[in-house]
Amino acid sequence: MKRVLITGAEGNIGSSMRSLLADRYELHALTRESVPGLESFVADIGGDLDALLPAFVGMDAVLHLAGSSGMQHPWEAVLHNNIIGTYNVFEAARQQGVKQIVYASSNHAVGLYELDRMPELYKRRAGLELDHTAPVRPDSLYGVSKVFGEGLARYYSDKFGLSIYCVRIGTARLDDSPNSDAARKGQAWLPLPEEANLRRMASTWQSKRDLADEIDACLQAEDVKFDIFYGVSDNPFRFWDLEHVRAVIGWHPRDGAPDPTESV
């Protein structure tokens, strides 16, 4: 089994990926706090590069999930965790000869395409379909940090031969579907009416098992040197392309969000 180092294994998405990928890979954790049941190397990825290096020894791949992941996060957090942290993770992987990185990029690298079209965008078949070639339009400093990370990924792949897959994850933090009571509570993305927020979640939702399958497909595609994929389930309101990821690594989602209008 491939040895995979997960950063951010203690987070919401990291916890799910650990259990969903546990029978397919030998997992190790690089975290800020020890993770029960997993070999954990405890360090701050935004800190000293040299201190991180031992965690990467003998790894075949890195699943880089760690970072500040909120649109409202201030510059200092984004700089430390996402910009310096991502540089350190890529550089440590390079120095230790790790061959593959799955990088948790984000839809927020292109989030402002939505700005002009809300809330009509979130209605079925609104017509906007973004693919991996769309010029970036980050909606936050968080989104800007993902633009940086994708650029760094391209450089490390082109220059040093690493295979790096940037997955622009949609709304993967929900434990259940966007139509659940849990999802309805406190998941507002922007100051929009509840229905619009619900519709956005139904457009952008990715189930945890779909994300795990997509990561798995990346790790199996060793001949792919660099690409950008969207991470989203096959939702009826979806406005991101899924044909490219299917064509390149053969992944297609199993899940799709229920239509929120059926219960609103």
Residues designated catalytic: 142
Residue 65 CB, nearest distance to a copy of itself (Å)? 21
Size of the site for a copy of itself (CB under 8 A): 27
Is the CB of residue 211 less than 8 Å from the CB of residue 17? Answer: yes
- Cα 199 to Cα 147, 229, 233, 248: the distances in Å are 26, 22, 14, 29
Task: Give the nearest distance from C-beta 144 to a copy of itself in angstroms.
Answer: 5
Retrieve residue 159's tokens. 């220059």
Q: What are phi and psi of 35, to 5 degrees?
A: -105, 120
Q: Select 20 or 112, whichever has its Cβ closest to a copy of itself.
A: 112
Per CB under 8 A, contacts with a copy of itself among 119-138 are 133, 135-138
Strands 39-42 and 3-7: unpaired
Task: Identify residues 85-104 at the interface with a copy of itself (CB under 8 A).
Answer: 87, 91
* Residue 242 binds a copy of itself (CB under 8 A): no
Toward a copy of itself, which CB reaches closer, 86 or 206? 86
Q: Give the nearer residue to a copy of itself in terms of CB position, either 80 or 252.
A: 80
Under the criterion CB under 8 A, does residue 143 sit at the interface with a copy of itself?
Answer: yes
- Interface pick for a copy of itself out of 75, 129, 175, 250 (rule CB under 8 A): 75
Closest CB to a copy of itself among residues 83, 174: 83
Tell me whether residue 79 or residue 126 sits nearer to a copy of itself (CB atom). 79
Q: Does 158 bind a copy of itself (CB under 8 A)?
A: yes
Interaction of residue 189 with a copy of itself, rule CB under 8 A:
no
Q: 35, 55, 104, 141: which one contacts a copy of itself (CB under 8 A)?
A: 141
Give the nearest distance from C-beta 242 to a copy of itself in angstroms.
19
Q: Does 248 engage in binding with a copy of itself (CB under 8 A)?
A: no
Report the nearest approach of a copy of itself to the CB of residue 145 (Å).
8
SS3 annotation, the chain: CCEEEEECCCCHHHHHHHHHHCCCCEEEEEECCCCCCCEEEECCCCCCHHHHHHHHCCCCEEEECCCCCCCCCCHHHHHHHHHHHHHHHHHHHHHCCCCEEEEEEEHHHHHHHCHHHCCHHHCCCCCCCECCCCCCCCCCHHHHHHHHHHHHHHHHHHHHCCEEEEEEECECCCCCCCCCHHHHCCCCCCCCCHHHHHHHHHHHECCHHHHHHHHHHHHHCCCCCEEEEEECCCCCCCCECCHHHHHHHCCCCCCCCCCHHHCC
Q: Indicate which single residue of 21, 65, 144, 174 sits in contact with a copy of itself (rule: CB under 8 A).
A: 144
Binding residues vs a copy of itself (CB under 8 A): 75, 79, 83-84, 87, 91, 109, 112, 115, 133, 135-141, 143-144, 147-148, 151-152, 154-155, 158-159
